[in-house]
């Protein structure tokens, strides 16, 4: 994955490793946990959008499938957390394939439309299957995660759990990007016809990446469900899908680091705008617009470019 990336992952690991030693407040720890959860989904989306050039408007649904699988199977059916987790991944994989195989064989933005519909269907299912999902009032009493008698209940323990998963998926994603698969994906983005002529099976890779990103979202869903222990459909609505998409765009589509940054910024921003009271949405909108006006390729690229510029100047 390249020397620079390896160093960056190492630095990130150290920063995250010492974070709970300095910040003890449960509030900040839980924000960091939400950043980790969002980052997992956004990394998957970034592979799909930034590298393969496909747009999904339904990733909140995969996030929800992961969360509800974990929730329903552990609460109602007494499954172990592990089994429920893999059931979520399995179900997301099947659903993702069912959407991707017919739509990704076509050219154009069919995936965006199909995932939009899919997201709405799943949202309705979460709301209407009252006996199973608890409907609009949600599902509560989801157990917190424990392995071999060790419980991940405390804020800092869960923080380490979430970020361990996030870092592992980060390394996995970086490995993919710096391999023939990553090159093939970028090639598809650059010129589909040339990619085919070079022997890239375009639809196969698009499908694979879409399924992979759905799995990322499902993993995040499980982590979310066991952290907040209560889930309701509103967490998995179209608005959330769009928010996740915004995280990719704000961070910068063509980079996994941008995905992390985007997840971080858009998770923290609403929290830090509380001081503006009723005007928070307004300020939020202005900030997003400013970022996109001045850094159309995302914050990560924008910051890198301004760093280079500053180095030249001084």
Partner 1 sequence: MDEEKMVMPQPILETSRLRKIFGGLMAVVDLNFKVMPGQIKAIIGPNGAGKTTLFNIITGILPPTGGTIRFKGREISGEKPHRIAQKGISRTFQTVELFGNMTVLENVMVGRHVRTKKGLIQSGLRLPGVKREERLVLEMAQEKLEVVGLMRRANESASGIPLGEQKLLEIARALATDPQLLLLDEPAAGLNETEKLRIGEIIRKIRGSGITVLLVEHHMDLVMNISDEIVVLNYGEKVAEGTPEEVKGDEKVIDAYLGVEIRYA
Distance of CA 122 to CAs 161, 187, 234, 238, Å?
Answer: 28, 33, 11, 10
Cβ proximity to partner 1, 84 vs 195, nearer residue? 195
Closer to partner 1 by Cβ: residue 153 or 186? 186
Shortest distance, position 1 Cβ to partner 1, whole Å: 8
Q: Which of 12-20, 154-162, 179-187, 298-306 is the region at the interface with partner 1 (rule: CB under 8 A)?
A: 179-187
Round to whole Å and give the CA distance between 211 and 228.
Answer: 26
Q: Please report how the helices 238-251 and 280-294 are oriented relative to each other, as an axis angle in degrees rounded to 10.
A: 40
Site string for partner 1, 77-116 (x = CB under 8 A): ----------------------------------------
- CB atoms near residue 107 (< 10 Å): 9
What are the DSSP calls for 61-104, one per residue?
HHHHHHHHHHHHHHHTS---HHHHHHHHHHHHHHHHHHHHHHHT
How far, in whole angstroms, is CA 57 from its chain's centroid? 12
Inter-residue contact 221 to 63 (CB < 8 Å): yes
Q: Rounded to an integer, what distance in angstroms lies between the CA atom of residue 258 and that of residue 313?
A: 25
Beta strands in 97-252 (DSSP E): 139-140, 146-147, 150-151, 230-231
Among 98, 106, 194, 308, binds partner 1 (CB under 8 A): 194
* 223 part of the interface to partner 1, by CB under 8 A: no
182 binds partner 1 (CB under 8 A): yes
Candidate list 54, 173, 237, 241; residue touching partner 1; CB under 8 A? 173
Give whole-number Cα distances, 58 to 31, 116, 233, in Å.
24, 5, 14
**46 part of the interface to partner 1, by CB under 8 A:** no
- What is the contact mask toward partner 1 in residues 201 to 220, using x (rule: CB under 8 A)? xx-----xx--x--------
Interface with partner 1 (CB under 8 A), residue from 190, 270, 285, 296: 190
Tokens read off for 110: 């069919």
| 28, 79, 90, 172: residue in contact with partner 1 (rule CB under 8 A) | 172
Find the binding residues for partner 1 in span 231-270 (CB under 8 A).
254
Report whether 256 contacts 177 (CB < 8 A): yes
Rounded to 10 degrees, the C-alpha dihedral 170/173/175/176 comes to 180
Nearer to partner 1, 7 or 146 (CB): 7
- Pick one of 83, 93, 189, 292: the residue that binds partner 1 (CB under 8 A): 189
Stretch that binds partner 1, among 95-103, 186-194, 267-275, 293-301 (CB under 8 A): 186-194
Is the Cβ–Cβ distance between 29 and 23 less than 8 Å?
A: yes
Q: Which of 179, 272, 290, 306 binds partner 1 (CB under 8 A)?
A: 179
Q: How far is the CB of 252 from partner 1 (least distance, A)?
A: 13
CB of 104 to partner 1, least distance (A): 14
Chain residues in the site for partner 1 (CB under 8 A):
172-173, 175-176, 179-184, 186-187, 189-191, 193-202, 208-209, 212, 254
């Amino acid at each position: 994955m390249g020397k620079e990336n390896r160093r960056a992952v190492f630095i990130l690991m150290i920063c995250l490793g010492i974070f709970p030693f300095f910040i003890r407040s449960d509030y900040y720890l839980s924000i960091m946990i939400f950043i980790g959860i969002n980052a997992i989904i956004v990394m998957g989306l970034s592979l799909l959008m930034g590298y393969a050039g496909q747009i999904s408007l339904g990733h909140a649904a995969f996030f929800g499938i992961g969360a509800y699988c974990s929730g329903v199977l552990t609460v109602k059916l007494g499954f172990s957390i592990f089994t429920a987790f893999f059931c979520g991944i399995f179900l997301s994989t099947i659903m993702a394939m069912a959407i991707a195989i017919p739509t990704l064989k076509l050219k154009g933005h069919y995936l965006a439309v199909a995932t939009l519909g899919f997201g709405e269907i799943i949202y309705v299912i979460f709301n209407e299957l009252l006996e199973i999902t608890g409907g609009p009032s949600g599902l509560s009493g989801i157990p917190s995660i424990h392995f071999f008698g060790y419980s991940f209940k405390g804020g800092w323990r869960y923080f380490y759990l979430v970020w361990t998963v996030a870092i592992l998926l980060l390394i996995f994603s970086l490995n993919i990007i710096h391999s023939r698969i990553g090159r093939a994906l970028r090639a598809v983005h650059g010129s589909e016809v040339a990619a085919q002529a070079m022997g890239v099976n375009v639809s196969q890779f698009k499908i694979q990446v879409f399924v992979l990103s759905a799995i990322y979202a499902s993993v995040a869903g499980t982590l979310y469900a066991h952290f907040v222990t209560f889930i309701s459909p509103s967490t998995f609505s179209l608005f959330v899908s769009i928010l996740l998409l915004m995280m990719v765009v704000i961070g910068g589509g063509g980079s996994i680091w941008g995905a992390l940054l985007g997840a971080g910024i858009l998770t923290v921003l609403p929290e830090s705008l509380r001081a503006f009271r009723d005007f928070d949405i307004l300020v939020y909108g202005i900030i997003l617009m400013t970022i996109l006006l001045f850094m159309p390729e995302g914050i990560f690229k924008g910051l890198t470019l301004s760093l280079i510029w500053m180095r030249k100047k001084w």
